[in-house]
């Protein structure tokens, strides 16, 4: 029985870990956006990396009456560029791609939860940058006060920032007007603005797309980042589920063997219960419940072990932007429920046939057995 519980524990651990990995990836990316924001990218582009917005188009977008105003009466809209640079990781493994984002002053208000953990914000008009906390932790030369060279320019790191665990923490931010010439970009990659009335997003989108001057598309910022995470998260889930199902077959067979052994060792006990008036369905349900309890115990232990992964941080490639993305394992109530159902199914499948065998034992033959 102990080996059966251990086998189920391992299967559930793998299953839960995969779900937590995919959920952590989605949580990190989706957490970068808010429903009140809209992002403008070139039509048919999937990401900012592939997109460009001309200065003329940016000017048209900035005049939209649907853009919210800040406390100073300024339109909450910002043009930004993104590019990739390569840096060596601190663990001396292969170099990784880092997303560099050129921002305007209003970007600090449009994007949410931008908090400096060290240093200060860069001065616009100077070759200064701030670095996401996870980039500073994982890449060489990205610490406070250090110099990063790219675009034939030396950029001084004057601050480290965090954004509540979103993907922005895996980026480097600087003044867009300084980064445009350094990176050889004449145009913005995207425009992000705060909607005055988020409920009017569909109308704003149709109006902009119907303008013949605007070969652009609008997405809610949260939807944009959710789209980026879907492909990778789905791949992780499908691969993990396939592996878990294969492993679970072994766990089910183990549970079945355990329950058959229990039936064989308790033949006289079963016959006595039948003689005392217990019906076949009661015997079947009793052994099935025992199998389910064994499976749920293994599932609880596997989930407990998987929950410790929340303290780990992993890095992968965002296959939409090809940039390095660091995120945490995330355990949610939905995962707990899914794991419980998965364990329940293993218990039912592993215990059903032995329970049927127990319920069909003949009283006289069982009592005569030695």
Spell out, as residue ranges, where the chain has pLDDT lower than 70: 1, 93, 264-278, 361-370
Query: Tell me, what's the pLDDT at 81?
Result: 94
DSSP-derived pairing of the beta strands 216-220 and 37-42: antiparallel
Query: Tell me, what's the pLDDT at 1?
Result: 65
pTM: 0.81
73 φ, ψ (degrees, to nearest 5):
80, 15
Contacts of 294 (CB under 8 A, 6+ apart): 1, 4, 5, 8, 255, 258, 347, 351
Query: Tell me, what's the pLDDT at 271?
Result: 65
Query: Tell me, what's the pLDDT at 270?
Result: 66
Query: Tell me, what's the pLDDT at 364?
Result: 61
Query: Tell me, what's the pLDDT at 358?
Result: 73
């Amino acid at each position: 029985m102990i080996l059966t519980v251990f086998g189920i524990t391992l299967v559930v651990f793998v299953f839960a870990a995969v779900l937590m990995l995919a959920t952590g990836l989605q949580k990190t990316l989706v957490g970068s956006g808010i429903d009140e924001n809209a992002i403008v990218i070139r039509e048919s582009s999937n990401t900012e990396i592939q997109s460009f917005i001309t200065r003329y188009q940016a000017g048209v977008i900035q005049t939209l009456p649907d853009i919210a105003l800040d406390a100073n009466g300024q339109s909450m809209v910002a043009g930004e560029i993104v590019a990739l640079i390569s840096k060596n990781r601190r663990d001396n493994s292969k170099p990784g791609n880092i997303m560099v984002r050129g921002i305007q002053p209003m970007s600090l208000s449009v994007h949410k939860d931008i908090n400096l953990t060290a240093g200060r914000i860069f001065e616009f008009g100077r070759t200064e940058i701030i670095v996401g906390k996870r980039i500073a932790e994982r890449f060489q030369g990205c610490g406070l006060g250090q110099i990063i060279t790219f675009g034939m320019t030396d950029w001084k790191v004057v601050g480290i920032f965090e954004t509540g665990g979103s993907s922005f923490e895996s980026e480097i931010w600087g003044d867009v007007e300084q980064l445009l010439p350094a990176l050889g970009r004449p145009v913005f990659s995207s425009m992000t603005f705060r909607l005055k009335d988020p409920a009017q997003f569909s109308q704003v989108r149709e109006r902009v797309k119907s303008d013949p001057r605007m070969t652009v598309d609008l997405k809610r910022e949260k939807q944009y980042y959710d789209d980026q995470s879907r492909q990778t998260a789905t791949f992780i889930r499908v691969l993990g589920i396939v592996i878990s199902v294969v492993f679970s077959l072994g766990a089910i067979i183990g549970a079945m063997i355990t329950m058959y052994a229990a039936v064989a060792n308790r033949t006289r006990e079963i016959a006595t219960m039948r003689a005392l008036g217990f019906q076949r369905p009661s015997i079947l349900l009793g052994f099935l419940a025992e199998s389910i309890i064994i499976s749920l115990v293994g599932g609880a232990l596997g989930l407990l072990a998987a929950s410790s992964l929340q303290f780990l941080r992993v890095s992968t490639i965002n296959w939409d932007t090809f940039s390095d993305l660091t995120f945490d394992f995330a355990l949610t109530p939905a995962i707990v429920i899914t794991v419980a159902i998965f364990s329940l199914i293993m218990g039912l499948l592993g215990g059903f046939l032995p329970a049927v065998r127990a319920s069909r034992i003949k009283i006289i033959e069982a009592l005569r057995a030695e």
